[in-house]
Structure 1
């Protein structure tokens, strides 16, 4: 459950209930405890007690916890005290006659009472409580005495004119709204008639709040805002103080609509306090990667992978989970078919994918955290990264695409770079990083000019970004050994530099490319020589056989390899003058006696993991062989989830849809792999109760559901048979294609089964 930007899991709610039952505990103390459990702190390091207390009240309203009795009534429920009217002094004259104007901060009871009396007597909104963070001032003249009062408080959550002027997204607004402060009260006593006094006080107040707000709340304000009821006031004072009128309130959001309905529209004025205010306000904070907490026993797979999605508008989360479940139930179907062709559901899906708060990284972040939790349970995890192209050339109306090959007039689409976490046996644990971009049709440049560009300006940066994401997961999982794998395209010196200095200890293994012409200083060599000439001279450690799967027109075969390994000092390329050599280990695997019509297998691997013995070389070879699974994942994504057939109007919507399809493709691949590697575990790790019972009844042609679930291997073959798998002796294990088809049919079978057995839940 998400409340105020935090996730309250079943375990957290149970801890809250236990802590609330302790004798003598107060709501304030309980909220501080919960802030500690959830790491709920502001930028100043203080616990967010007010937001937490509101969340606790909401949990109590939903009957999930029982809070201790409140010791005081809420401010809005307290009786209104009758205040003695304030006797205002009278003065008329020039501003200079008042002497130096002073703003007195309201810090004690005497000043607070004076402030409330003054506003209750002369301000149309009175001196009642303000919203959120606040700072109040009294205006004093050494000659006349009290001249008025003003107050600053939390800004409006949504304000169309202001939000359009700032230009921030919803995520940036939620993160940085505390740097916008509202001038919620401003009063110059009506008996004081002094030209320019109001604008002068506003100038003093702008400087004063910049100094006082950080001391009080640890946050430096960047923009001030206020509302002016132009039915009564002209806003002249604010204009004279250089405030900018942006427009009028539009009624966006519940609070804004209520105010508009009650009081009519008001003019919106703002004042920027610094020159560079827009950049920090529009900066969207990067999400913090954490280990996902254990999922509730009743949570569906979609809730486990997407339930922690962090939307400013929490209503988007149920829609995301519903879409993921629909996509998962019909992996090969179009969007309309997956939603049973219901027009309102299809329209809602398109609106969701086009929503400004919905983007690929927001959707995938909870899956990244769930993946990290699965990684933490493994001793060794391989993270394979690779790039593929998504061809949308058939969708000419889709905007935001780019060329996917070297021809500027070639096919249009998106580039996808993914990083898939795998066990050494090849079981996919989930995605660690996804990068999607559309290439720009740049003018042709020379090879020399391309090489001169820094790595951060090249597409090659994607390999370093993936490694950095792997290192972030490694920091969360210190007991797990992570190895980042990549093919020849990742043979980049800067990538080896980053891996060699990674403080988290993430390892790297890359297949070397001949085109890079690597120069090395080997341990048993006296001079710098080409890497590809040094390795054949190393002693043979031993041999092994490797199964080469068929591809295209090439038949499958078994290759016999010789293995060599040695430590090397990799020399920097000429473009990185002054860079130090890197200590790496090279593993060379060469096929002996290859077939006459086949190219010999030749793998030269570079790694940061020390490798000197035959056993170590064989392990590194096995790691690289596991990289092939990311190619299987790409095939699952394209052929199974049919991502290239998605018809959406723009690239952003395609990326949002891709985020869901990526997780669905991982789930289908996970089923296929686990069914082969761990066939004896119960199928309940993947299937809901109604699903496996419906599957078993259909397979056995029996109306009576079995008492115990079948194993995952048995259930997988049943699903595959629904998709056309014959299960003959020589057919081997079912692949992803028949599983996709079978899952489509299983959804319809389960829905029919639920009609006859309504007591069995068919899923969320």
Structure 2
């Protein structure tokens, strides 16, 4: 992804110029609002806007009935589709996240996101995203995103299994796959990665029908249609296979777990999922056919005393022939973590759960715009890791990188060692991202590694404030 900054100095203009709200006035206002809010994504509208008149214009924009979530995010999705061109393969990750607005009692039309045992309910919205990555992990953008207020289910237990998949909330996984298949360039191979919640029979059928490689963490120990062993389940079938090798995985520390290196056994098998296990008959099951998939199990056989063993069991439509192809499936699954970072950026970097819109429709539209900002911050972080030597003008305007250079060298300028004149040659992506992160608290010591998301977005806020002053002084 290069040349994202237009001559007018706005990546927002490049990304969102195709937005259409069926009214020229709204289209123009959207560009102004998006540009202002993109500079301070973590601040509320009244603080991110240049003045009170601009803030009122933003509030009126989100209140307009012609403005909705889909129209706001659509131009970004189209640009993501264009960015997949030229890639031999893209990895597409799907996941959902809960947006908690329980503390905002004045916000109308929110849905239920959790119910405690005493009957108390938390209110909020559900966001489901489909994020495209290059094969090396650079976030190319969103291929689909949906948001809704969850309603209470009328059908429960066995009755819920009779509900058609198209009427269930879980249908969003199939919709995400269809969007990716329709939007990714035809010459580009798709590998889709999902967590346990996407272990849905119809999703595997859809992936096979459309030629999409699918990797999902196993949730259901399904019954198999096995010619040699009868009605075994998946874990029983894996237990009959020989260990094909070992792999070492570094496990990071957490609140209850210390950092360590785990050695995992690798075991895999081709299996046939039974479409109607043990003669189960429902309208949903009757439409299925048996499907062949591969299952690979990564299991720690000897964890340290007091530690739970690490187990990853993945089910895939991609053929697994040997240890090397099994490890490739693991590597695809590891890339799923990027969408967790995306949601973290949206909630922490963009501070989305602090928004106090007074109804869910306006809130959804605002989240749509912030989703694009969250992707941009995520992209900037990963760009540093993938193309550090590239010119920073792929991500910063001339005024932005010159302001950044002045802030980085302010002490030398004050002492007289340097003149307050930025160089003609812009710094690299590596230099610029580290300088931004340093404004947000990153120290940049030898053993500090690469800057993280939080220090980058904090530094971005500092930079944007300084850019405003620089642009006034250089008028």
> Normalising by structure 2, what TM-score?
0.92
2:146 alignment partner in structure 1: 435
Q: Does 1:398 align with 2:101?
A: no
Which protein shows a greater Rg? 1
Partner in structure 2 of residue 412 of structure 1: 123
Shift of 1:378: 1.6
Aligned to 1:536: 239
Q: Secondary structure at the match of 1:616?
A: helix
2:264 corresponds to 1:558: no
Q: Which residue of 2 aligns with 1:283?
A: none
- Are 1:725 and 2:436 matched, yes or no? no
Contact 2:138 2:379 (C-alpha < 8 Å) held by counterparts: yes
RMSD, aligned α-carbons:
1.9
Q: CA deviation at 1:554?
A: 2.9
1:403–1:409 Cα contact (<8 Å) kept: no
1:368 aligns with 2:86: no
Partner of 2:30 in structure 1? 320
Query: 1:298: Cα distance to partner?
Result: 4.5
Q: Return the alpha-carbon distance in structure 2 between the equivalents of residues 704 and 296 of structure 1.
A: 24
Gapped runs of 5+ residues in structure 1?
Answer: 1-292, 759-764
Q: CA deviation at 1:536?
A: 2.6
Alignment of 1:50-449 (within 5 A): 298=8, 300-340=10-50, 342-407=51-116, 409-442=120-153, 445-449=155-159
Match of 1:167 in 2: none
Residue 416 of structure 1 aligns to a residue whose secondary structure is strand
Deviation of residue 297 (structure 1)?
5.0
What is the Cα deviation at residue 592 of structure 1? 3.2
Q: Distance in 2 between matches of 1:638 and 1:372?
A: 25
- Kindly indicate whether residue 213 of structure 2 is the aligned counterpart of residue 507 of structure 1: yes
Q: Which residue of 1 aligns with 2:390?
A: 681
CA contact (8 A) 1:567 1:612 kept: no
DSSP-derived class of the 1:411 partner: strand
Larger RCO of the pair (alpha carbons < 8 Å, separation 6+)? 2
1:400: Cα distance to partner? 1.1
- What are the Cα deviations for residues 19-76 of structure 1, in whole angstroms up to 9, with x where unaligned? xxxxxxxxxxxxxxxxxxxxxxxxxxxxxxxxxxxxxxxxxxxxxxxxxxxxxxxxxx
Tell me the residue number matched to 1:455: 165
Confirm or deny that 1:628 pairs with 2:348: no
Instruction: Report SS of the residue matched to 1:664.
Output: helix
Instruction: Give me the whole-angstrom Cα distance separating, in 2, the residues matched to 1:606 and 1:707.
Output: 53
Asked if the contact 2:5–2:393 (Cα under 8 Å) also holds between the matched residues in 1, the reply is: no
**Aligned counterpart, 1:518:** 222
> Contact 1:324 / 1:664 at 8 angstroms: preserved in 2?
no
Post-superposition Cα deviations, 1:559-613, rounded to whole Å, max 9, x if no partner, equal 2222222221111253413632101111221123222232212111111111112
Note the C-alpha offset of 1:317.
1.9
Distance 2:382 2:305 in 1: 34
Provide the C-alpha distance between the structure 1 equivalents of 2:34 and 2:260, rounded to a whole number of angstroms: 39
> Are the aligned partners of 1:522 and 1:566 in contact in 2 as well (CA < 8 Å)?
no
Q: Does 1:714 align with 2:418?
A: no
CA-to-aligned-CA distance 1:161-215 (integer Å, 9 cap, x gap): xxxxxxxxxxxxxxxxxxxxxxxxxxxxxxxxxxxxxxxxxxxxxxxxxxxxxxx
Q: Deviations over 1:500-559 (max 9, x none)?
A: 212xx222111111xx23012458x34231001111321222222222333444333322
TM-score (normalizing by structure 1): 0.58
Taking the aligned partners of 1:314 and 1:586, their CA distance within structure 2 comes to 53
- Work out the number of aligned pairs and report it: 457
